[in-house]
Amino acid sequence: MAENTKTIWKQRGRELTNAEKQRVAAISDYCGVPKIIAEIVYQRGYESVEAAYAYFNPSLEDLHDPFLLPDMRPATARIVQGIENEEKICIYGDYDCDGTSAVSILVSYLKLAGADVMYRIPNRLKEGYGLNLGAVDALSADGVGLLITVDNGIAAHHTVDHATALGMDVIITDHHECQGDIPKAFAVIDAKREDTDYPFRELCGAGVAYKMVCALESILKTGADLTPYLEVAALATVADIVPLRDENRVIVALGIRSMNENRKNLGIQSLMAAGEVAEVNAGRIGFNLGPKINAAGRLGDAGEAVALLLSADRDEADRLAASLLEKNERRQSIERAIYNEAVSRIEARALDRDVFIIVDGKGWHSGVIGIVASKLQERWYHPVIVIGIGEDGEGRGSCRSVEGINIHEALCTVKDLFSSFGGHEMAAGFSIAEGNIDALRARLGLWSETHHAEKHLVRTLLYDCAAAPEEINLELTEAAALCEPFGVGNPGIVLKTENVKPTDFRRMGKDFSHLMFRVGDLRCVAFGMGERASELGGGNAAMLGTPTVNEFKGTKSPQLMVKALRGDVLYQNMTCYTLIQKIDRGEAIDGIDLAAQQSRLIPSREESAAIFRYLRSHDQRPFGFDELKALGEDLNSFKILTCLKIFQESDIISYSLKKSIIFSKICPNQGKKDINHAPFMLKLSQIIIQKDG
């Protein structure tokens, strides 16, 4: 992430009052968890011992009555009537993981209940999202009398009217925001309707389908085991990135438990085997299982995903899972190619100088540009727009934003450039003629200037609270596991640990890209930070990390998975090299209070002498820069580079430094030198005096 280094650390919570601290203590005692975990749970809104206990121990009893959802009673009554009258029922879904999961839940249950049921999912590339007129006409011709949408339909006013005119009853089940009046369907089940008092608004489409199955079972009393539907709903809830709070957290927690212990859905079992997932958690759904389900729809036909989740035959399920694995690998290959091409274009044209990074390419697959936009946003931390241009010159754009920049609001000011457009604060999509892309870039540039959008290009890393290394023990890490599943609305626990001295640090992994070290007895692992090992060579460090349980050969121990690392800046070779160059050129110094660090900036006489002796003993022989740090307990990178600088200015040595290797040569003796009057030393002293004054 070198492309954007503006990062701040910020605590999620607030300072608690004495009365709140007492409630935290009560939660800790009642639930048997460390006070750090109790406070984190309290800060997340579970403020009573009862609420906290339910958070740690989710149960089906915590789910709300499904009949509290708007129109659930007339909808279920109409479905029961359809079953009894042997009407043809169609479940119409979306092509993503949520939509295909919702379809499989309702189709499976209705078949079990004796319904004549079929399903239809639009082709993403040919039909696009949602209920369309062509599909309605085809379903009517096929004799469908009852049409039930899942994960779509809340905005399909015209299409619902058309279906009704053809003699079909339409039941909409959706979870998206209602855009004004709701469609004139037979029933509209959406917890986001303005006229509902349903206690929770954030169910995904499959969550709503699961609630409908629960309602139907209370009427039909088939005796069916609803656990397989819970597993599928959990899969979709994580994949659709809805908040893991309230009912969603219950569904996911219990669904994952069943996937690991009961394994009721055969399709999910085969998907786990294909993905080499021995044990499911929310992270493995989000990064392994969910993308495989999504891959079918992204590349066109989502029917295989539904077939997998409906499968009752092991061989068939394995075959379908293998096919989805292949599709996902193909999707990843397409995505990688587009991503690499986009990165090259951004770098070649310096598109990251703009607040909105807008990058386009001919033939870029519309099914994956959203993922590419997300990855580019993560890399540069700018709002990103990726546009794939078709052979007809029409571009399809996918947008991802950053906190503080409302991309929907920005795009509304240029919507005259689009042939279609929609979205929300953090993500959007549109269609645009290729000839309008330059105008889009220019006008969004003006919007950025007038709204001072550049100030939001600062990545914020959130942590829950500070903790000393000795507090991160096995009791705490095991209690942290009770807070799973983690996701949006219930993020993984992050602790800040500062003023620590890492030891035993080493790079690991096939390419040595990872880092492992210890802080006292605490094992710390930092993936992707191997190159930062040199920062831990001295001074104090600070970390943000997630506490986990490390199990090795049957023995459990606490472990911190490091998310962010700040080594002592004065021990960071490149940072100090740049800092010394700025001081030498007389440029402004930001990010370090030189006066506060005075005693750590100027080498002592003893340290200077030790460095000179080492240089003399290695005259004209290369050696590693970090070897000099071993000459004194307080010798940091800045002091060493200062010494080298003033020695060179004083004609004591000449040297070159490349890739942390020093090649030096002792100059002929020209008498006694006063290094305290070397030009750089005078500049440094002057800056410190000015700062201090």
**From CA 180, how far away is CA 193, in angstroms rounded?**
10
Domain termination site, one of 567, 593, 625: 567
Residues 149 and 179 placed together within one structural domain of the fold: yes
Residues 274 and 287 placed together within one structural domain of the fold: yes
- What CATH number should be reported for the domain holding residue 527? 2.40.50.460
- What CATH number should be reported for the domain holding residue 176? 3.90.1640.30
Residues 536 and 635 placed together within one structural domain of the fold: no
Q: Report if residue 368 sits inside a domain.
A: yes
Closest CA to 295 of 242, 241, 365: 365
Q: What number is the average pLDDT over the span 13-28?
A: 95
Residues 523 and 538 placed together within one structural domain of the fold: yes
pTM over 0.75: yes
**From CA 101, how far away is CA 91, in angstroms rounded?**
12
- What CATH number should be reported for the domain holding residue 428? 3.10.310.30
Domain termination site, one of 432, 456, 480: 456
Q: Report if residue 54 sits inside a domain.
A: no
Residues 252 and 122 placed together within one structural domain of the fold: yes
Which phi and psi (to 5°) does residue 432 adopt? -150, 145
pLDDT of residue 21: 96
Classify each residue of 536-555 as buried b or exposed e, where b means 16 or more C-beta atoms within 10 Å of its C-beta.
bbbbebbbbbbbbeeeeeee
Q: Report if residue 658 sits inside a domain.
A: yes
- What CATH number should be reported for the domain holding residue 666? 1.10.10
Domain termination site, one of 397, 428, 456: 456
pLDDT of residue 1: 37
Residues 304 and 205 placed together within one structural domain of the fold: yes
For 383-407, the pLDDT digits (tens) are 999 999 998 999 999 999 999 999 9
pLDDT of residue 5: 52
Residues 433 and 518 placed together within one structural domain of the fold: no
Residues 254 and 109 placed together within one structural domain of the fold: yes
Residues 158 and 239 placed together within one structural domain of the fold: yes
pLDDT of residue 71: 97
pLDDT at 140 over 80: yes
Residues 165 and 279 placed together within one structural domain of the fold: yes
> Which of the four pLDDT bands, split at 50, 70 and 90, describes residue 347?
very high
Q: Report if residue 34 sits inside a domain.
A: no
Average pLDDT of the chain, as a whole number: 92
Residues 102 and 169 placed together within one structural domain of the fold: yes
Q: What DSSP string runs through 339-386?
A: HHHHHHHHHHHTGGGSSSEEEEEET--TTTHHHHHHHHHHHH-S-EEE
> Which of the four pLDDT bands, split at 50, 70 and 90, describes residue 633?
confident
Q: Report if residue 20 sits inside a domain.
A: no
Total domains, the chain: 4
CA torsion 552→553→555→561, rounded to 10°? Answer: 0
pLDDT of residue 693: 47
Q: Report if residue 393 sits inside a domain.
A: yes
Residues 575 and 561 placed together within one structural domain of the fold: no
Q: What number is the average pLDDT over the span 426-450?
A: 94
Domain that holds residue 472: 7-12+462-567
Q: Report if residue 33 sits inside a domain.
A: no
More confident residue, 5 or 272: 272
Q: Report if residue 73 sits inside a domain.
A: yes
pLDDT at 429 over 50: yes
For 231-281, the pLDDT digits (tens) are 999 999 999 989 999 999 999 999 999 999 999 999 999 999 999 999 999
Q: What number is the average pLDDT over the span 320-346?
A: 95
